[in-house]
Structure 1
Amino acid sequence: MEKLLTTISEKAIKNEDFNFTSEQIENNWLGTIPATEKQISNTENRLGIKLPKDYIEFIKITNGFSAPNDIEPSFENISNIDFLKNIEPFTIEAYSYLPELKNAILIAGIEEEQYFLLIPPESENEEWKYWKFANWYPGEHPFGNLNEYFKDVLEFIVKEHES
């Protein structure tokens, strides 16, 4: 995953797709420092849930990741993530036909037009769900995991600059 995040950072900064900070440009990196074990356990205790392994892998690489363009969300520092119902309760009301939102964890897009959500499994036989969700992009857009999502982001960046 680290190589994928590095490639996204390099291509987005090179293509000047967004307003990046001087530090991001200088470091050619949209991430931050890794999360600590203490930050991870504090968040899992606060949420009362064990977060998925690929998300833990991600935040051990970078504890937050800036949006590479204006259609992707910025991934939050683990200390800022919370259940969607605690951050944006009106979204759950507006999309009441999606009951999964009631337990969704908002990991990207706080105060942005698009979110990235982790949907916890409801039983031992289920897997975590990964959704990109935006008002301008109707419905939920599922991914199999975080790696699949970031591959999709990279493909979009490449396609945008090849055409």
Structure 2
Amino acid sequence: MRTSVEGAPHWYVLNIGDSRVYLHRGSELVQVTRDHSLQEELRAEGSADAERVSRNVITRALGSLDSRHDAWLVPIEPGTRMLICSDGLTTEVDDDELCAVLTTTADAGSAADELVRRACAAGGRDNITVVLVDAAERGTAPSAEPDAEDENDRTIERTRPGRRV
């Protein structure tokens, strides 16, 4: 969701569960969201048990007893790329590799395809969803009509269903 704070455009990022949002600028990749998993909560507490707990035990989810979400306002700057992805990607492809693909692949569609390809090649044990959003250059704005085709829309989504083993 796009919003504005003091006249400057921002993304309004919501998070619940273990899908992630990353911000990529230049050659820097920053995870915006926090996983709502037992493993992550134990790690934040400094517990030695964190590595012994399955990473798939989530502590918050839509429709669960705890469905609270986290939220952030993230400034939209030219050259910024937002990666929204399921844990099927981040289980198979580490942050350094994510950053390398996002840094070296200018076209959002090609970058999304490459991330899905790498996750599948690494095992693809879960559903793999990748959404990439490239911020438009200054001076270009999306159409005022919500249903109009927008040549500046650089949102690419690729989803591949997971294989059960």
TM-score by length of 1: 0.28
Which has the larger share of strand?
A: 2
Q: If you compute each CA radius of gyration, which structure gives the higher value, 1 or 2?
A: 2
Q: Which has the higher contact order (CA 8 A, sep 6+)?
A: 2
